[in-house]
């Protein structure tokens, strides 16, 4: 007998749960395959391949809620698994707000072809992957100061099927390919600067790996001789590769959970100016081949484009159905898809020239932010900007302040959004940022 499809398995599990007396259930069946291959210092260091399959069931039973998962998808095992899950759910405290979404939220699901799956995925063989990794690693070694270099190729194929007892059914299949190199070089004393460079794509044929090794090497060499400089308050330019690190801390305070728990610096600010008018951010789940693209979110809510910030005005919160009920607000979605920062017209070089004197940030090294107040502290490294040009490398420094003040001081947005992410952010320039270093 042929194996059942994931959709059939999910439907069967939903029927079993109903026969066990469960009022409502959401079932997800997933299958994923990945392959990772690494070359280090001229040798094949690692090759790893894995395929996984599993089922998750979220039960809404007698006012109680639970979520469990299993990797045993045999029919008898699934029935036993669900029986145990029902018993355990009955031991939990009731939660009146835990329910499946209103079926009206499933309506209007987009049908755009998001081009998330590479139809030629099975045609890519191990020898092709080896050649790419070996070439990247060789290019990363192209300097006598290199201590060590490695290159990795990673790709995956995933399928996820969801079935809800109140009418929702959906499935997604997607592929992704990532290639990157990491380089460590010599410096004075015991310093060993290192850097990496990664690119990704949904389709193998579109993956541009030709400059990865060289790019990682040049970024490592650019850090030679770096160290802290004097504490200062000055303009800051943030490279597009890492600029999402400043946008991400804004998402937590926008969540329904943070709002309901009174831990959001954006509480009560919907429709208000909270950032520079140069900041416009759109949540766009319908970008073809986007890393965050989708037809529906994790709850089955139909995807739609929505403004998050519009010329600095806060336009929406991320509210799932659970916190929507608690807040007595209509749900939007509980998680972001693709976040697109509207680009400006200036290149990165023009931003350096416009700033004149300041600091270019090329890496963030740890740190944290407080979602309630917006206060932050991040470690950084990068370069001084002097005379409108990128100059000496700097490291072992921190930036501190308040996120709302920082984004209100956004003075320019570049024209170069970094494409290898679900957060598409260009180079950004901020005024009046506090840098802590020497003295």
Q: Which domains does the chain have, with CATH numbers?
A: 6-29+50-100 (3.30.160), 121-221 (3.30.2290.10), 232-247+343-436 (no CATH)
- Helix, strand, or coil (residue 402): strand
> Model confidence over 279-334: pLDDT tens digits?
999 999 999 999 999 999 999 999 999 999 999 999 999 999 999 999 999 999 99
Q: How far apart are CA 428 and CA 235, in angstroms?
A: 11
> Model confidence over 10-56: pLDDT tens digits?
999 999 999 999 999 999 999 999 999 999 999 999 999 999 999 99
Q: What is the pTM of this model?
A: 0.95
| For the chain, counts of helices (H) and of strands (E) | 9, 17
> Model confidence over 227-250: pLDDT tens digits?
999 999 999 999 999 999 999 999
Q: How far apart are CA 342 and CA 315, in angstroms?
A: 15
Only one residue has tokens 């045609």, namely: 123
| Contact criterion met (CB below 8 Å) for 337 and 422 | yes
Q: How far apart are CA 61 and CA 19, in angstroms?
A: 12
| Order of all β-strands in the sheet with 281-283 | 313-314, 306-310, 281-283, 339-341, 423-424
Buried b (16+ CB within 10 A) or exposed e, 62-101: eebbbebebeebeeeebbebbeebbeebeeeeeeeebbbb
| Contact criterion met (CB below 8 Å) for 302 and 110 | yes
């Amino acid at each position: 007998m042929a194996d059942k499809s994931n959709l059939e398995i999910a439907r069967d599990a939903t029927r079993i749960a109903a026969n066990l007396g469960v009022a409502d259930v959401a079932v997800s069946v997933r299958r994923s395959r990945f392959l990772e291959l690494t070359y280090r210092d001229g040798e094949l260091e690692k090759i790893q391949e894995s395929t996984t399959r599993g089922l998750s069931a979220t039960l809404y039973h007698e006012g109680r809620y639970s979520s469990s998962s299993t990797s045993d998808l045999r029919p008898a095992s699934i029935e036993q698994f669900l029986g145990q899950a029902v018993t355990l759910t009955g031991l939990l405290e009731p939660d009146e707000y835990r329910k499946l979404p209103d079926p009206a939220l499933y309506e209007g699901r987009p049908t755009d072809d998001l081009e998330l799956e590479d139809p030629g995925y099975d045609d890519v063989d191990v020898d092709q992957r080896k050649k790419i990794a070996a070439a990247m690693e060789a290019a990363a070694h192209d300097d006598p100061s290199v201590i060590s270099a490695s290159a990795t190729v990673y790709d995956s194929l995933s399928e996820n099927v969801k079935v809800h007892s109140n009418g929702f059914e959906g499935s997604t299949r997607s592929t992704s390919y990532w290639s990157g190199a990491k380089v460590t070089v010599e410096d004075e004393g015991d310093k060993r600067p290192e850097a990496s460079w990664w690119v990704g794509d949904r389709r193998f044929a579109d993956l541009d790996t030709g400059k990865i090794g060289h790019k990682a090497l040049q970024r490592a060499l650019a850090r030679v001789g770096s160290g802290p400089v004097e504490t200062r308050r000055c303009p800051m330019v943030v490279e597009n590769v890492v600029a999402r690190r400043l946008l991400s801390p804004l998402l937590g305070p926008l969540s329904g959970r943070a709002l309901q728990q009174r831990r959001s610096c954006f509480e009560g600010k919907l429709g208000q100016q909270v950032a520079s008018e140069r900041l416009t951010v759109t949540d766009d789940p319908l970008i073809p081949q986007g890393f965050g693209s989708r037809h529906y979110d994790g709850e089955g809510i139909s995807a739609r484009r929505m403004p998050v910030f519009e010329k600095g005005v806060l336009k929406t919160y991320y509210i799932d159905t659970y916190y929507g009920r608690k807040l007595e607000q209509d749900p939007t979605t509980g998680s972001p898809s693709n976040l697109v920062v509207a680009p400006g017209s200036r290149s990165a070089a023009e931003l350096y020239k416009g700033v004149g004197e300041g600091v270019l940030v090329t890496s963030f090294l740890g740190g944290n932010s407080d979602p309630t107040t917006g206060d932050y502290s991040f470690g950084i490294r990068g370069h001084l900007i002097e005379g409108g040009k990128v100059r000496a490398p700097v490291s072992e420094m921190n930036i501190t302040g308040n996120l709302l003040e920082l984004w209100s001081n956004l003075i320019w947005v570049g024209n170069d959004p970094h494409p290898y992410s679900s957060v598409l952010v260009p180079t950004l320039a901020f005024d009046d940022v506090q840098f802590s270093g020497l003295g």
